[in-house]
Homo-oligomer: A and B are copies of this chain.
């Protein structure tokens, strides 16, 4: 019997927050609702406060990242696919560095871990296919290989996006990935070729993720 909360307000606020994040404007309670016609209380009814807004923003980031990874077309070469997924991950993070920072900055809430896992799942599948195809040894755990790839990707993008390393350092990506997969049993030359192919695969045209 109560008045239902307008979901449009929620998406409007998240969208606006994402834009402000991209424009590098400081996101404050009042600056967020300014011009939207809604009052500051809307933030509390929809998100429970600014913390909730940041959490929603973080979750939205994971959702978008997952969507981006889903656009990576799979081939018959699972190693190439793994590299393509890693490249897409880096590309997405570096295209929206502020959103990426929000995603991993604060102490991650347990509730948006599933969203992060959903993204990781793509890597796990590629790793599993690599194993099934005999590219890596049968005793390689797909999850472990996926996590290791994630570690490499996250380390790379963090050090590049946050400042210390120049953009050119991204070239270490294929090297590290090849080293990892080769250590898992893939043939060095073939691995190198697959990784290079996947790494430099062009992004899909609809790369324009509306968020941030």
Residues of A at the B interface (CB closer than 8 Å) are 104-105, 107-108, 113, 116, 144, 147-148, 150-156, 158-159, 162-165, 169, 172, 175-176, 178-180, 182-184, 188
Contact = CB atoms under 8 A, between A and B. Distances in A.
Contacts of A107: 162-163
A151 B152 contact: yes
Contacts of A172: 144, 147-148, 151
Q: Is chain A's interface secondary structure helix, strand, loop, or mixed overall?
A: helix
Contacts of A176: 148, 151-152, 180
B183 A175 contact: yes
A164 B108 contact: yes
Nearest to A160: B151
